[in-house]
Amino acid sequence: MALDMRRVIDPDTYFDHNSPPTNLGWAHDEVDKFIKAQSPDQRIVLVTSGGTTVPLENNTVRFVDNFSAGTRGSCSAEQFLAMGYAVIFLYREQSLQPFNRNYSHNTKGVLSFLERTNGQIRIKPEWEEKMGQDLDNYQKYTQENKLLMVNFTTLSDYLFLLREVSLLVASLGPRVMFYLAAAVSDFFIPSHSLSEHKIQSATGDLTLHMNQVPKFLRPLVKNWAPLCFIVSFKLETDPELLGPKARHALEKYGHQVVIANMLHTRKFQVWLFTKEEAMRPAVIQISQDDLDAGRDIEQDLVEELARRHQQYISSTLQQD
C-alpha cells in the first residue's frame, strides 16, 4: 500500500469536500433535545467508541477498518452513568453497546445465556441477575434521558457527527467531558478520488494512495468546544513511542488528558498524561485475576477521570 502523505488538508476543507451522514439532522435534533432535558448542573460526557471505516469505493464493497471492538467505550459509558453522568454515546454501528455488550458479542458462545427447559426457552439461572440489572439500567437511563446513542460507520460520518455534537454541547462549558476512545483512521481517500464502482481485479495488483486525515483534535480543542474537559486516547504497538506520542499530543493540542494504552495490554494497564504529569503519568492497572472475576479497568479509569473533571469544574468556577 503506497501512502501519499504529502497533501494535508485543513479540517474545513475536509467538510467542504465530503458528504454528511444521513443521520446528521436526526442526531442534531436528538442531541439538542437531550441537552435541554438536563438540569443546569448535570455533568455530561460524550463517549466515542469503535473504529471508523475508510471506503475504497463510492458504492462500497471494500473498506479499510480501524481496530476497536468498542469494549473501552461501552464499558466506560456504563461507568459514567453509574457515576451520575448523562452520556452521549457516539459509536460504530455493530460495535459493543452499553448494557448489551455481554449478549451481542458473548465470548462463551452464541446465545449461551439461554437454555431450553421442558420445551420453554429461558434465561440460564446464572445469567438472570446480571441480565435483569442490564435491562433495568438500560430502560431507566434511556427513559430518564441519561443515555443517547448515535451511530457512525465511516470516518466521514464520525467527523461530521463529532463536530455537530461538539458545537451543540460546547455552550454547557466545563461540565462537559469528551472521552474520545474511538479508533479513528489517520488516512483516507478523498471522495473525488474514489472509484465509483467496485474496483476490478482484471488489471492486476491494487495500489492505494491515501491522504492524511486533518488533525481534528486541534479545532475541537481550540474552536468547537474550548471550555470543555477533553480526554483523548493514544494507541500504540511500539512501547518506545507511547510516552513521546502522548506528550506530543498534549503539547500540540493543549487539552486536559491523554490516556495512553498499548494494543496488547489495554485491558490491564493505561497511563494518564496531563501537562503537570507529562514525565510521571499516573498508572491505572488491574490483574488477570481481577479481569477473570469480571472487573474492568474502566471502573478505575472512569472514577479517576470523574474526580479530575470535578476538580476542573471547581477550578473554572473559582476563576469566574
- Closest of 160, 273, 274, 176 to residue 226, by C-alpha: 176
Q: Which residues, 43 to 102, sit near ligand 9Z3 by CB under 6 A?
A: 68-72
215 forms part of the interface with ligand 9Z3 (CB under 6 A): no
Number of residues that bind ligand 9Z3 (CB under 6 A): 15
Among 183, 210, 297, 305, binds ligand 9Z3 (CB under 6 A): 183
Task: Return the C-alpha torsion angle 289, 74, 138, 296, nearest 10.
Answer: 10
306 touches 83 (CB < 8 A):
yes
162 forms part of the interface with ligand 9Z3 (CB under 6 A): no
146 forms part of the interface with ligand 9Z3 (CB under 6 A): no
232 forms part of the interface with ligand 9Z3 (CB under 6 A): yes
* Smallest distance, ligand 9Z3 to C-beta of residue 312, A: 20
107 or 319: CB nearest ligand 9Z3? 107
- Closest of 244, 266, 247 to residue 255, by C-alpha: 247
Part in contact with ligand 9Z3 (CB under 6 A); list of ranges 78-86, 156-164, 165-173, 181-189: 181-189
Lookup: cell for 64 = 479499510
209 forms part of the interface with ligand 9Z3 (CB under 6 A): no
C-alpha 153/C-alpha 157 separation (Å) is 6
Compute the residue count for the chain. 320
Identify the DSSP state of 83.
T
188 forms part of the interface with ligand 9Z3 (CB under 6 A): no
82 touches 138 (CB < 8 A):
no
- Binding residues (CB under 6 A) for ligand 9Z3: these are 68-72, 180-181, 183-184, 232-235, 261, 266
